[in-house]
Amino acid sequence: MKFTDGYWQSRHGVTLLRPAEVRDLEVGDDGRTLTAYAPTARIHTRGDTLNRPLLTVEFSSPMPDVIRVRLARHLGAGPRHPQFAVDGAADAPVSVTVDDDGGTLTAGGLRVHVAKGPGYAVSFLADGRRLTGSMPRGTGVALFEDDDVFAVDQLALGVGDLVYGLGERFGPLVKNGQTVDIWNADGGTSSEQAYKNVPFYLTNAGYGVFVRHPEEVSFEVGSEAVSATQFSVAGEELEYYVIHGPSPKEILARYTALTGRAPQVPAWSYGLWLSTSFTTSYDEATVMSFVDGMAERGLPLSVFHFDCFWMREFHWCDFVWDPATFPDPAGMLRRLKAKGLRVCVWINPYIAQRSHLFAEGMEKGYLVRRADGSVWQWDKWQAGMGLVDLTNPAAVDWFTGELHKLLDIGVDAFKTDFGERIPTEVVWHDGSDPERMHNYYTQLYNRAVFDLLRRTKGEGEAVLFARSATAGGQQFPVHWGGDCDSTFPSMAESLRGGLSLAYSGFGYWSHDIGGFEGTPDPAVFKRWLAFGLLSSHSRLHGSDSYRVPWAFDDEAVEVTRRFTRLKLALMPYLTRVAREVTTDGVGVMRALLLEFPDDPAVAHLDRQYTLGDSLLVAPVLSHDGSVDYYVPAGRWTGLLDGRTVTGPAWVREQHGFDSVPLLVRPDTVLPLGACTDSPEYAWADGVTLALVELADGIREVTVPGFAGDADTLFTVERGSEVVTVRRALGPDLPGSFRVLVVGAGSGATVVGGRAIPHPDHLPYAVGGLLVEATDDVVEIALGTGSAS
């Protein structure tokens, strides 16, 4: 929202109350807060204090390197609900000082200084420099002629400062120059609307900002004042947190420590998911033909998903299987489980009028009501549908109780669709502010379903396929990108959305392989397969056409097989990376800025990413296989072909459908699993440690234990021309392991193992010396000039 007409004037009908001086500074009674009192005009005489608004700005800290700011004119409205939960310690170390020049609050490595006297000068400082600060012409309260009031602040952008995040947004990855309104909408992937709006942004300048308001927050990112990021909310108060890094990863770590981190998700969820698609015709015979077709073609499948029409038309949701197409749901699920599959079903929080649950929900007060006491209803999506009031604990129990019945017959996961079309002209059971509930509802929805799965399945076994989210929604994974077209431009916009979401603290992300709307050209489908199977989670799903690979051509079957097997071989690596989601708040898929913050060339890259910290992926977004991508410094090695690329450099290549730029970072020990037909196996048993361009030194590599097994720890030491690999003993020591010294010749001397030929069935192809360990310590003396 813009309030000014150029630099000098306010917009018609807008009066801006700006701080004209910091009149006084106070230290809180507990010594933990700093409060500035700023009148909206200079005070020269006592009379100037009359009939004059006074802005109150309070600074505090919930944890080191995070400073909270609350700006207000009138405080009488009191707390509004719901509110984003934030973690922090009441006794987090804080230092507050005030002198004649101003006041300073210090929290860890971040401090805020407020100058006393004329003007309004607030600076956030760290690492010996000013990170940002409030802009005097952009801070305050805006009054409209119609009595609307907005609280607003602007934080300065320096030369070269770039802004990222604000949820899953499908436009340019760098948000500078954009107006972004935080308001969840069911708008697809091709517009400025977003399913997952998050009022948090991250910069390349050492800080991020979280605006703690669930209601609509309007961001002007260098668009009202080109040298500032502005954010505003309706009302008299504005609360936000400045979060110091200095690195982007550290900013995300602190933001997710504040708002919550994702737990671990089950191993089976990393495998390939296949769906019925949306409006296609399907019954049990169709489903079994798809499942058997995948098996007959050697395509590993982990999850089968039933979309909306598992229920009867006009009944969504009643959670009753359509007897015409699925007369024996419990038996069908048993038959699918016998084939080694997990099962996911589609749900949403709406109750159609024709559903048998509607009358019960209306009678018991479980559906959201209007001010006159009637149930809120409309006909968009489902005829006469109501919305479950998840602010009512009894309604939560009722809703999740219906879902529990599905778990009892074998369902393993839920696709929690929708959650964006939340009305504001309603009254909530707990009195929540309707404007705030619009964005916040998805938090209640996904939490309720995720918690049910966690209680029922156990810690680490709960997983959703969720579309909507807001700040903190990363605690209820997985999220997917929503409804995209089946085109290369839509494939690119989906990737931008995923990277934007990763910048917003979300750890796991997926998308519909081949696109959702329409039927993809076979070239689009095959290119999308590589991208989809090199994402944290991978699903074949469409709208009005199936996504079984043989529906496109025989080559699509081969491409599916290759990249599915590749992903399963990467499970020792992916599950190690996934731990960082829980411990550090960093996503599995990452924009390159997160890994290479000191390389200015990566700042705008939005057509490539890293999968974890060690793999660079550049999806091919063209029919002819042409792709341009950037490689940071060092000699990188192609995992699929063994070719090397030395950066920093831009690269232009041609790739067949069975290939994609997939490069291993220099100085990497990449664990590759021995199993390529399932994600569920003992990842350390028979693991191959690929040593790629190792520098001299020692590094530790952890291969997570599967299904509660102990982790296996390897140490890899490179010194001069000798590489030593040690496996630490554990309570459940797995079988043999292998060492692949990429680029090494056959003339090396091996102790504790034996050189073996490369198997011909692997989904990756990197050359070098392959050694099978015969002891827990393998020592390899390399010949002069060997690459690793």
d(CA 252, CA 258): 10
Residue 205, amino acid: A
Question: Which backbone phi and psi does 479 adopt, to 5 degrees?
Answer: -115, 145
For residue 514, give every residue at least 6 positions away whose Cβ sits within 8 Å of its Cβ, in sequence order, or none.
Answer: 486, 520, 524, 525, 528, 529, 540, 542, 547
DSSP 783: P
pLDDT tens-digit series, residues 56-94: 999 999 999 999 999 999 999 889 999 999 998 878 899
pLDDT tens-digit series, residues 463-493: 999 999 999 999 999 999 999 999 999 999 9
d(CA 467, CA 415): 8
Whether 145 is catalytic: no
pLDDT value at position 603?
98
Whether 420 is catalytic: yes
Work out the number of other CB atoms within 10 angstroms of the CB of residue 313.
12
pLDDT band at residue 785 using 50, 70 and 90 as cut-offs: very low
pLDDT of residue 788 exceeding 80: no
| Residue 522 host element (H or E) | helix 522-533
Copy the structure tokens of residue 218. Answer: 């309007």
**What is the arithmetic mean of pLDDT over 395-402?**
98
pLDDT of residue 730 exceeding 90: no
Query: Catalytic pick from 168, 483, 485, 517?
Result: 483
pLDDT of residue 643 exceeding 60: yes
Residue 104, amino acid: T
Residue 39, amino acid: P
* Percentage of the chain lying above the pLDDT 70 cut: 99
pLDDT of residue 784 exceeding 90: no
For residue 99, give every residue at least 6 positions away whose Cβ sits within 8 Å of its Cβ, in sequence order, or none.
Answer: none
- Burial profile 28-50: b = 16 or more Cβ within 10 angstroms, e = fewer: eeeebbbbbebbbeeeeeeeeee
Q: Is there a contact between 358 and 435 (Cβ–Cβ < 8 Å)?
A: no
| Residue 239 host element (H or E) | strand 237-244
How many Å separate Cα 258 from the centre of its chain?
15
pLDDT value at position 733?
63
Long-range contacts of 358-367 (CB under 8 A, 24+ apart): 358/384, 358/386, 360/398, 361/386, 361/388, 361/395, 361/398, 362/386, 364/394, 364/395, 364/398, 365/389, 365/392, 365/394, 365/395, 365/429, 366/392, 366/394, 366/395, 366/398, 366/399, 367/395
pLDDT of residue 534 exceeding 90: yes
Q: Is there a contact between 241 and 66 (Cβ–Cβ < 8 Å)?
A: yes
pLDDT band at residue 512 using 50, 70 and 90 as cut-offs: very high
pLDDT of residue 747 exceeding 90: no
3-state secondary structure of 536: coil
Q: Is there a contact between 224 and 2 (Cβ–Cβ < 8 Å)?
A: yes
pLDDT band at residue 299 using 50, 70 and 90 as cut-offs: very high
Question: Pick from 213, 267, 36, 273: which is nearest to 139 by CA?
Answer: 36
pLDDT tens-digit series, residues 147-199: 999 999 999 999 999 999 999 999 999 999 999 999 999 999 999 999 999 99
Q: Is there a contact between 638 and 766 (Cβ–Cβ < 8 Å)?
A: yes
Query: Catalytic pick from 420, 461, 485, 493?
Result: 420
pLDDT value at position 653?
97
**What is the arithmetic mean of pLDDT over 546-567?**
98
Which region among 82-86, 99-103, 735-739 has the lowest average model confidence (pLDDT)?
Answer: 735-739
Query: Catalytic pick from 215, 220, 417, 461?
Result: 417
125 to 58, 111, 132, 229: CA distances (angstroms)? 17, 5, 7, 17
| Residue 34 host element (H or E) | strand 34-39
Residues facing residue 178 across a β-bridge: 221
